[in-house]
């Protein structure tokens, strides 16, 4: 067996396969001294490590190749192996072959991690044996040993992971939304949608798909599922549904077979924004389906505060609130973050563009933004997209600290400063988490300075 990529999923896949008695080669394009320390332990367990590039001969001699999600399938040795008929699978596929119990899989462009975490909490706090992993940072294959016949495994699945599944068939699949993202990897939006839909291609009468009724791609997904006679449960944050979960005024209602019950009230949800409301609806839909009582779901929702770097309230100082949504790495995510606030909003945008069209941000910013600060490689591109569409100040800044300080000087009590970059982070930071941590540190510095000035 050959495992490609020495990241979290690749290391865990190699460790798992070796424990199963397989002869394993771990291949990575990085130099050996750049590989994680865990690779040394794998070698001690008998895993062969090939660093500094992928060798076609190794790939062509494999019984099967397990490819990490960060490695494009267009990599030349992978294409040669595919043409030679060698099976290429991902770590999610490998894990599914061995997992016991039932599985929930969550995908979508935005909101996956929040919804995955929420579903895990909803099930666990209702007393169901539950474990959570996948794209959220815990390799699915590492959960095989703790899976239970009477338990649930909740998996976040990215489009990269879904490219390489062949038998993966969770009991419940959740699709939150699909908007343009990762086009640098997938090439076209149609290819990206096809990767997401790969989650549902093996669904049937004994599976359930939970879909966002308001997403433009839902009719396409629903048609696929109808052809397979797979049941669907819809949710909507914008309109009443004949069947499913929806918002009606201050109530969140579940309607099935003509009967309805109020499951939650809007006041039970602490997270801001319509997108977070959609995440809550999806999570509750899964919970009710597996038998969680409405009152148990309600108690969990009231306690749920979301995840770090995802519409995270960092602090409030001088009457100004600071929100960290560093995970908003594409235009769609940034737009829904912006739309979560009514007015008095100062937004930080910029980083590495992901082949996005930034013009739609103008419609969200115009009625509610007080100013916009731009950073990173995409600053000029964003400025051009917003030119002539906003009357508010749009300024460029050398780095994140300068942007935060400038916005803090412009803001007045009652205003909000929001980091929602609409871009990847790799021009200035290691990842979106690093960007979010820097933002939070700068915010604390700004607030402390303001307090010392006032005292």
So which residues are the catalytic ones? 112, 135, 182
State how far the Cα of 264 lies from the Cα of 241, in Å rounded to an integer.
16
Cβ proximity of 24 and 17 under 8 Å = yes
State how far the Cα of 315 lies from the Cα of 322, in Å rounded to an integer.
6
Torsion angle (degrees, nearest 10) of CA 10, 209, 244, 112: 10
State how far the Cα of 132 lies from the Cα of 117, in Å rounded to an integer.
7
Give the Cβ contact number of residue 248 at 10 Å.
13
State how far the Cα of 51 lies from the Cα of 26, in Å rounded to an integer.
8
* Angle ∠(351,367,334) on CA atoms, nearest 5: 25
State how far the Cα of 365 lies from the Cα of 391, in Å rounded to an integer.
10
Count of alpha carbons within 13 Å of 293, Cβ hemisphere only? 6
Residues 6+ apart with CB under 8 A from 422: 328, 329, 330, 331, 333, 334, 335, 349, 350, 351, 356, 358, 361, 382
Give the tokens for residue 102: 């039932």
């Amino acid at each position: 067996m050959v495992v490609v990529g020495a990241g979290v999923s690749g290391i865990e896949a190699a460790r798992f396969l070796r424990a199963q008695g397989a002869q394993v080669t771990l291949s990575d394009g990085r130099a050996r001294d750049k590989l994680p320390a865990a690779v040394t332990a794998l070698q001690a367990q008998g895993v062969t490590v090939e660093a500094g590039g992928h060798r076609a001969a190794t790939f062509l001699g494999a019984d099967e190749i397990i490819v990490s999600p960060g490695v494009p399938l267009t990599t030349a040795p992978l294409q040669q192996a595919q043409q030679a008929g060698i099976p290429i699978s991902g770590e999610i596929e490998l894990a599914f072959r061995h997992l016991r119990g039932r599985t929930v899989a969550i995908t979508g462009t935005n909101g996956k991690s929040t919804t995955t975490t929420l579903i895990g909490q909803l099930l666990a706090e209702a007393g169901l044996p539950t474990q959570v992993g996948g794209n959220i940072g815990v390799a699915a294959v590492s959960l095989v040993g703790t899976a239970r016949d009477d338990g649930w495994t909740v998996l976040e699945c990215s489009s990269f992971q879904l490219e390489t599944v062949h038998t993966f068939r969770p009991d419940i699949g959740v699709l939150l939304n699909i908007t343009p993202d990762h086009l640098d990897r997938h090439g076209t939006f149609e290819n990206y949608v096809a990767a997401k839909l790969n989650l549902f291609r093996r669904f049937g009468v004994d599976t359930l798909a939970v879909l966002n009724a308001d997403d433009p791609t839902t009719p396409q997904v629903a048609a696929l599922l109808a052809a397979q006679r797979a049941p669907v449960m819809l949710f909507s944050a914008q309109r009443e549904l004949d069947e499913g979960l929806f918002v009606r005024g201050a109530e969140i209602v579940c309607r099935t077979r003509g009967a309805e019950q109020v499951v939650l009230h809007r006041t039970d949800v602490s997270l801001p924004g319509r997108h977070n409301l959609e995440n809550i609806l999806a999570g509750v839909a899964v919970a009710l389906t597996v038998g969680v009582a409405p009152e148990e779901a309600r108690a969990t929702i009231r306690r749920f505060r979301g995840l770090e770097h995802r519409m995270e309230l960092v602090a409030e100082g001088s009457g100004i609130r600071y929100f960290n949504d560093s995970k908003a790495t594409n235009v769609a995510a940034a737009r829904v973050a912006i739309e979560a606030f009514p007015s008095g909003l100062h937004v930080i945008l910029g980083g590495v563009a992901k082949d996005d069209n930034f013009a739609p941000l103008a419609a969200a910013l115009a009625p509610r933004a007080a100013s916009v600060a731009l950073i990173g490689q995409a600053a000029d591109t964003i400025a051009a997209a917003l030119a002539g569409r906003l009357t508010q100040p749009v300024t460029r800044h050398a780095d994140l600290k300068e942007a935060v300080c400038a916005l803090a000087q412009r803001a007045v009590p009652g205003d909000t400063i929001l980091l929602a970059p609409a871009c990847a982070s790799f021009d200035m930071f290691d990842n979106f988490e690093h960007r979010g941590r820097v933002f939070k540190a700068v915010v604390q510095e700004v607030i402390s300075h303001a307090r010392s000035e006032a005292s």
